[in-house]
Amino acid sequence: MSTLEESIQISVDGVDIAGTFVTPGTLIPGVLFVHGWGGSQSQYLSRARDVAALGCVCLTFDLRGHALTKRQFATVSRANNLQDLLTAYDTLVHRRHVDPAAIAVVGSSYGGYLAAILTSLRPVKWLALRAPALYIDSGWESPKLQLHQDQDLRTYRQRLVLASENRALQAVQTFGGDIMLIESEQDTIIPRTVLSSYREAATHARSLTYRCLDGADHGLTQEGDQRAYTKVLVAWLKEMIHGARRGVVVSPEHEPAAHPETPPLSR
């Protein structure tokens, strides 16, 4: 593997000593995690650590209206939260050593819905959606909490929605990367028809993987369901990332032989 070297000066006791940073010469993938409505980044920190072990830079964050900004819970809109996601994405891709052409976005429920829309606004290579929600396009600037009063979402989600009718599905339809859809078998909030709408919309995806978590509810309230989701997600990302790396040929570089360690003159 190629490497990059950067000479630095280390100040100690008023004297500068020379040092050299040696880092991988190849860029590494970035993975962005988007939590659901009413959740927080803490739900994804453990998974982010598992994914980072694959050789990725991961970013979790709190959407406005959650965690430290919970006071905005009743007023924050989809427009606000999409801007949060765009800003988090830009923060990730500008992180040193992150490959902007190898970005994965992982979203659950409301976060999955926003992640789908993100693909129409920013380059994304891999998209993993667990129980992604669907909302009617109208009321985009209205408080998200108000949508359940203004829109008959239960009826809307019970039918197959065409990509031409929904902004998130339109984004999925034009997305050319790899997609994984994950269903919770006992989900009473996001019915299977919503997953079918996403699945039918993914007509231009490079690949489509579908998994169902047996016996799981929407919030993955059982610890075993949490482990099952992590296992499925990490396995898929590992396959995607390692597959992408196998497709890149790095020319070997000539490296001078290392000098032997000089033995001390005295002990």
Q: Which domains does the chain have, with CATH numbers?
A: 26-246 (3.40.50.1820)
Across 70-89, average pLDDT: 96
Q: Evaluate whether 143 touches 71 at the Cβ level (below 8 Å).
A: no
> Considering only CA atoms, which of 142, 235, 154, 226 is closest in space to residue 188?
154
Distance of CA 51 to the CA centre of its chain: 10
Across 53-61, average pLDDT: 93
Number of H helices, E strands in the chain: 8, 8
User: How many residues are given for the chain?
Assistant: 267
Q: How far is CA 174 from CA 116, 119, 201, in A?
A: 10, 9, 9
Record the pTM.
0.86
Instruction: Look at residue 3 in the predicted model and tell me its pLDDT.
Output: 66
Residue 243 has pLDDT above 90, yes or no: no
Q: Evaluate whether 111 touches 168 at the Cβ level (below 8 Å).
A: no
Across 249-259, average pLDDT: 41
User: What is the pLDDT of the chain when averaged over all its residues?
Assistant: 90
Instruction: Look at residue 7 in the predicted model and tell me its pLDDT.
Output: 86
> Considering only CA atoms, which of 181, 174, 87, 89 is closest in space to residue 127?
181
Residue 254 has pLDDT above 70, yes or no: no
Across 43-72, average pLDDT: 94
pLDDT, tens only, 108-155: 999 999 999 999 999 999 999 999 999 999 999 999 999 989 999 999
